[in-house]
Amino acid sequence: MAAEAGRNTDDERAALLAELQHRVRNMLWLTRMITRRSAESSESLEDYVAHLDGRLGAMARVQNTVIRDPRAGLDLWSLITDELASVQADDPVRARLVGPTVLLHARAAEPLALALHELTTNALKYGALSTPTGRIAVTWRCAARQGAPILMIDWTETGVRLDPSEDRRRGFGWIVLEEMLTYQLEAEAQLNLSPDGMTCRLVLPLTDRIVRSMEDQD
């Protein structure tokens, strides 16, 4: 019994060490990418510092949650509200969140938090959070595509005048939404603009690598 308990403890330690090594490598990769891409897309030193600080702050909020309880997973609802709260935009009148309880692994929460930060920043500068009449709705649900389960997250902004002809698929924000999520999570990002607002849909494969647990949907 003692020998078996010892083996179980060793296995747990090995699993935790492997997870820690993966997280450190992932965080270093993200930090290097954020630093380089922020420099490429910034127009001045002040602009670079502001963008870099915001993006590293989004990663730091994830790490603070992970440190408190490494095995608990990160709640998607909290991930979104924490980002909105960082710009004082978590008022339920301005931002409405609807979806089941979804607990993410840290390796998935980090790039997703960065994507949510870019959406929030864009809304603050150009979108729903730039005008008193603007509203944000974030909804998420489990669905199926070609027989495979997926997690769909819709970020919708209304009450703001946008030019649908403008090309917003450039700059660091779109790199995060399209390239980084694809590389790290095999996710997809779809952006649709309308005269009254915009919708960004994030589609993630619903796998054990990304989601730790998810509340059953009726």
The amino acid occupying position 125 is K
Q: pTM value?
A: 0.81
Q: For the segment 94-111, what is each residue's pLDDT rounded down to a tens digit?
A: 999 999 999 998 888 888
Task: Centre a 10 Å sphere on the Cβ of residue 49 and count the other Cβ atoms it contains.
Answer: 12
Distance in angstroms (rounded) separating the CA atoms of residues 168 and 186: 22
172: confidence class by pLDDT, cuts 50, 70, 90:
low
Region of poorest pLDDT, from 25-39, 140-154, 157-171? 157-171
By 3-state DSSP, what share of the chain in percent is helix, strand and coil, each rounded to 5?
Answer: 50, 25, 25
Mean pLDDT of 24-34: 74
Mean pLDDT of 129-154: 93
- Map out the domains of the chain with their CATH numbers: 2-214 (3.30.565.10)
* Confidence at residue 164, expressed as pLDDT on a 0 to 100 scale: 61
3: confidence class by pLDDT, cuts 50, 70, 90:
low
* Confidence at residue 19, expressed as pLDDT on a 0 to 100 scale: 65
For 46-110, the three-class secondary structure string (H helix, E strand, C coil) is HHHHHHHHHHHHHHHHHHHHHHHCCCCCEEHHHHHHHHHHCCCCCCCCCEEEECCCEEECHHHHH
Give the chain's radius of gyration (CA, Å).
19
Q: Which of 53, 170, 64 is nearest to 110 (CA)?
A: 64
